[in-house]
């Protein structure tokens, strides 16, 4: 994904003066050494090592016996945190310094994603001039999605999950695609009160293209313009400036993603047909006709929609990975079905009220999130002022990422980490609270109110009504799943085959009755 060699040279030459000035600055910790890291070449530093995988970062940490490694990417500074202790100390305890986001020129400036709260760079000129609106949008988001308010959306999760069960009856071969449709149902319904069209939904198609672009553009080292903002002035026609065309296309999708569903919800509200959702709820509470307030609601909805579409990709990843876990460990599925059968009332599907009675389902959910980490590398943070950690200097302006994969595959915390073993979270038939909950790292360092719930209810429901086994071909030969994943910021299993059959005729009837 690194661009052409001559563009690298152009970027380096254009940045030499900038690098010299930045390095000449001193601070309170200027006398301390930088954290260890792989060998850096003159001028370009570790540029040729990028983009690196979570496993590569962890290997470097092991080689240098450190939980923090330093990389210099042609003058742009980056550290990678390899342990929970390091991430908690810096990203949580010192969040005032580390809560900003990296500039990400490709995403925020060329693609126009500065509307999205998750990509906002704290203290930027744009934000200072619009600080009131930023606070308003965060308030709108918090009021609708703090833990108590989020329970209002549980009916949306149940409806989408039961639609998923029916899809497996009707289209049993589309394992990953059916889950993708479920996650679409959830976020479009919660945000805009809209139902996903069975095929080629226009809102979803546009949004997923926009999200795909943002995920690609956010990968550390994927685009040089993120490292050298001066490149944003290179015209699209210039040789090697293909990133400009990509940014333009992705920006158009982003604009449509914000505008189209919001307008549809307003039309539905005018005709009295909009159900409870984020947009309708906040528009109804608006003080008369206030264009600024309406714009805040629209942009917050767009931010929430995009954030939860990313989160829905994580949900898709987790549920698909759980099915892969069942295929390789059929005894786990049988044990889960036994828990469901003795707990959930006959003739009913699992509900959120059953949560406390289904600890093994919870353990499966936790193990799924740990086993195949949905986001091995977290969204980059930005250090706003020079800091010190374990005797090392971390310069201001450093991009900071947490290696979630390494944290969730730490053998000292999770023995035999490559195995799918929900029992590691169980003790005497109950959840073992002494084992670290993977939630600290699997969603990135921040709060995720509905993500775990959507994965949990989907797993519980699938276990209740389906037998999940490896598929066989026409000759009776078992088809082994590939366990291949997409190489993006959020890892999603590539399509695979398995057999998804109702456990009984009663189970099939129950599924169809639940969506009637």
> Taking a C-beta distance cutoff of 8 angstroms, is the pair 36, 64 a contact?
yes
Question: Is residue 446 over pLDDT 50?
Answer: no
Q: What is the mean pLDDT of residues 289-302?
A: 84
List pLDDT tens digits, range 346-397: 999 999 999 999 999 999 999 999 999 888 887 788 899 999 999 999 999 8
Separation between Cα atoms, residue 292 and residue 170, nearest integer Å = 46
Separation between Cα atoms, residue 466 and residue 468, nearest integer Å = 6
The DSSP line for 379-421 is PPEE--S-EEETTEEE-TT-EEEEBHHHHHT-TTTSSSTTS--
Separation between Cα atoms, residue 431 and residue 437, nearest integer Å = 10
> Taking a C-beta distance cutoff of 8 angstroms, is the pair 95, 108 a contact?
no
**How many Cβ atoms are within 10 Å of 290's Cβ, its own excluded?**
11
Question: Is residue 232 over pLDDT 80?
Answer: yes
Please count the helices (runs of H) and the strands (runs of E) in the chain. Answer: 21, 11
Strand 76-81 and strand 399-402: the pairing is parallel
Coil vs helix vs strand at 485: strand
Query: Which pLDDT band, with edges at 50, 70 and 90, does 336 fall under?
Result: very high
List pLDDT tens digits, range 132-172: 445 555 555 555 555 555 566 688 789 889 999 999 999 99
- pTM for the full predicted model: 0.78
Residue with the two structure tokens 């994603």:
113
Residue 499 is inside which H or E element, if any?
A: strand 499-502
- Sketch out the chain's domains with CATH numbers: 32-514 (1.10.630.10)
Cis check: omega of the bond before 51, within 30 degrees of 0: yes
Torsion of CA 315, 316, 317, 319, to 10 degrees: 80
């Amino acid at each position: 994904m690194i661009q052409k060699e001559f563009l690298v040279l152009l970027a380096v030459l254009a940045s030499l003066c900038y690098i010299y000035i930045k390095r000449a600055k001193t601070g309170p910790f200027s006398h301390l050494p930088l954290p260890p890291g792989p060998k850096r070449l003159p001028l370009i530093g570790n540029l040729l090592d990028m983009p690196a995988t979570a496993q590569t970062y962890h290997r470097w940490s092991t080689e240098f016996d450190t939980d923090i490694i330093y990389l210099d990417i042609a003058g742009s500074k980056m550290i990678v945190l390899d342990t929970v202790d390091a991430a908690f100390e810096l990203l949580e305890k010192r969040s005032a310094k580390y809560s900003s986001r990296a500039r990400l020129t490709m995403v925020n400036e060329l693609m126009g994603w500065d509307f999205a709260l998750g990509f906002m760079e704290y203290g930027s000129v744009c934000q200072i001039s619009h600080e009131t609106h930023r606070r308003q949008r965060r308030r709108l988001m918090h009021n609708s999605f703090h833990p108590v308010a989020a329970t209002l959306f549980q009916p949306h999760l149940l409806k989408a999950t039961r639609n998923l069960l029916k899809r497996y009856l009707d289209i049993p071969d589309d394992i990953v695609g059916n889950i993708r449709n479920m996650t679409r149902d959830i976020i479009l319904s919660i945000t805009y009160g809209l139902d996903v069209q069975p095929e080629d939904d226009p809102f979803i198609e546009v949004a997923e293209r926009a999200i795909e672009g943002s995920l690609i553009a956010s990968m550390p080292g994927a685009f040089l313009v993120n490292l050298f903002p001066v490149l944003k002035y290179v015209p699209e026609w210039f040789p090697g400036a293909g990133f400009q065309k990509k940014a333009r296309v992705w920006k158009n999708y982003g604009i449509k993603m914000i505008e189209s569903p919001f307008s549809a919800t307003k039309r539905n509200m005018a005709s009295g047909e909009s159900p409870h959702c984020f947009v309708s709820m906040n528009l109804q509470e608006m003080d008369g006709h206030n264009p600024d307030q309406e714009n805040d609601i629209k942009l917050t909805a767009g931010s929430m929609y995009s954030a939860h579409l990313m989160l829905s990709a994580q949900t898709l990843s987790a549920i698909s990975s759980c099915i892969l876990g069942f295929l390789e460990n059929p005894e786990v599925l049988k044990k889960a079905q036994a828990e469901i059968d003795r707990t959930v009332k006959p003739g009913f599907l699992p509900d959120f009220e059953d949560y406390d009675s289904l600890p093994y389902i919870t353990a499966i959910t936790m193990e799924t999130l740990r086993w195949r980490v949905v986001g091995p590398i977290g969204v980059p943070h930005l250090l706003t002022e020079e800091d010190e950690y374990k005797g090392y200097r971390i310069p201001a302006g450093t991009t900071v990422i947490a290696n979630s994969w390494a944290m969730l595959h730490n053998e000292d915390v999770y023995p035999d980490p490559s195995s799918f073993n929900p029992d590691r979270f169980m003790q005497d038939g109950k959840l073992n609270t002494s084992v670290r909950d993977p939630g600290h790292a699997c969603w990135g360092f921040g709060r995720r109110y509905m993500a775990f719930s959507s994965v949990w209810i989907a797993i519980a429901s699938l276990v209740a009504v389906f037998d999940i086994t490896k598929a066989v071909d026409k000759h009776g030969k078992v088809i082994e799943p590939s366990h291949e994943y997409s190489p993006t910021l959020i890892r999603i299993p590539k399509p695979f085959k398995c057999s998804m059959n109702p456990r009984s005729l009663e189970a099939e009837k129950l599924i169809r009755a639940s969506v009637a």
